[in-house]
Amino acid sequence: MMKTRKKVYVGLSADILHEGHINILKVANSYGDVIVGLLTDQAISSYKNIPYLDYNRRKIVLQNIKYVKKVIAQKTLDYVENLNLIKPDFVVHGDDWKEGVQKTTRLRVIKTLKKWSGKLIEPKYTKNISSTIIKNKLSKSKNFSQNRTSLLKRLIESKEIVRILESHNSLTGLIIENIKVEKKNSIIQFDGMWSSSLTDSATKGKPDNSSVDFSSRINSLNDMMDVTSKLLIFDGDNGGELEHLPFLVRSLERAGVSALIIEDKIGLKKNSLFRDQSGARQDKPHNFAKKIKQVCKSRKSSDFMIIARIESFILGKNIKDAIKRAETYSKAGADAILIHSKSNTTKEIFSFAKQFKKSKYFKPLVSVPSTYSKVRERELINNGFKIVIYANHLLRAAYPSMEQVAKAILINGRSFEIEKKIIPINKIINLIKSN
């Protein structure tokens, strides 16, 4: 009679399979039949960047490894649900999770296994190899821009909300690339960058009235893209002339940009957050729809998203006008809708979201909470928003800090007094070296 092999559970993201994964699976197979709990795209993106390969592709690879008996979905970072379902004799995981964000997960695994006298096996972690290291190398390849373009669409599908922060130069891009916060046993980070016409103009000492042309902005964009790997959304103002849009789209796609946002204002640009909007005009819905169709026609890949920004509330128009425009732009091919507001409350954008969700033309919603900054991301999620853009905060933070330092040097006749308030030069050097 054939002896029944014991059940072994291995939780993996297996984004890009490497020898470290094979080592773990080989060890696991020595204890019994291996069931891999493969983390879904949603589970992975809850604590780090979206995986390079989607769930189905990763599953196919694992199913064809000789050490693996079965592959099932692990829908969260927590193992407990799958462990209670399978009741494995062993769980195998590298010893690298004893500290850091996975420490709590490990303790929950040990506690759960005790219910049926299961055992945790922790082989030594394979050093100097990981999916992250491989992805960093891939990001420097010439084909990375194509994969980068698709990031936003994949994140919208896999995350509750996509978190975007303004970047106005390469250094701020590196900050967004590297900043992480541990919160409730998970890693919170920004998903990408926002290239704003306001901040780009401001860094050049020019007004936000299209005085900085797209060619100049593309140069700044390329500098940021050279040193980062996260997605970027480009602020295209009103898109310019219809005939020029194909050239802008091609430049953005070539750089690996994920989305272009264009607004339905016409004429000389006036920033939407200016109190005085006299003279500002909104395009007719059918005219703006032509721009959207032109972008859709010009793009090489549907992964490159077009987001229509509606200025109805900025110009004092009602929700009926905003809904009509949203439906018209969606029908024209817009992949998402940004409903803009200069109110200090969420009343009008949430009312818009509630009504628009009932429409058959509903598309993912984008929020820019510059004026209604008290809103929490959870509230945005609950009201149907999928993208939040913090549109100018790094620039606004930088200016007062630089002003204070400059004044202090003048007052004291030296820089000693402000040394503790500014970043050590070594940290700047290391930030750049880490790229």
Rounded to whole angstroms, the Cα distance separating 89 from 82 reads 13
Rounded to whole angstroms, the Cα distance separating 398 from 401 reads 5
Rounded to whole angstroms, the Cα distance separating 402 from 311 reads 33
Q: For residue 393, which amino acid is it?
A: H
**Helix, strand or coil, per DSSP, at residue 117:** coil
SS (H, E, C) 284-351: CHHHHHHHHHHHHHHCCCCCCEEEEEECCCCCCCCHHHHHHHHHHHHHHCCCEEEECCCCCCCHHHHH
Catalytic residue numbers, as ranges: 208
Closest listed residue to residue 273, CA positions, set 416, 191, 392, 172? 392
Rounded to whole angstroms, the Cα distance separating 350 from 383 reads 6
Distances (CA, A) of 369 to 166, 307, 350: 12, 17, 12
Residue 149's CB is within 10 A of a number of other CB atoms, namely 25
Rounded to whole angstroms, the Cα distance separating 358 from 363 reads 11
Q: For residue 115, which amino acid is it?
A: K
Residue 193, strand partner residues: 165, 232
Which residues have a Cβ under 8 Å from the Cβ of 215 and sit 6 or more positions away? none
List % helix, strand, coil for the chain (3-state, nearest 5). 45, 15, 40
Buried b (16+ CB within 10 A) or exposed e, 393-405: ebbeebeeeeeeb
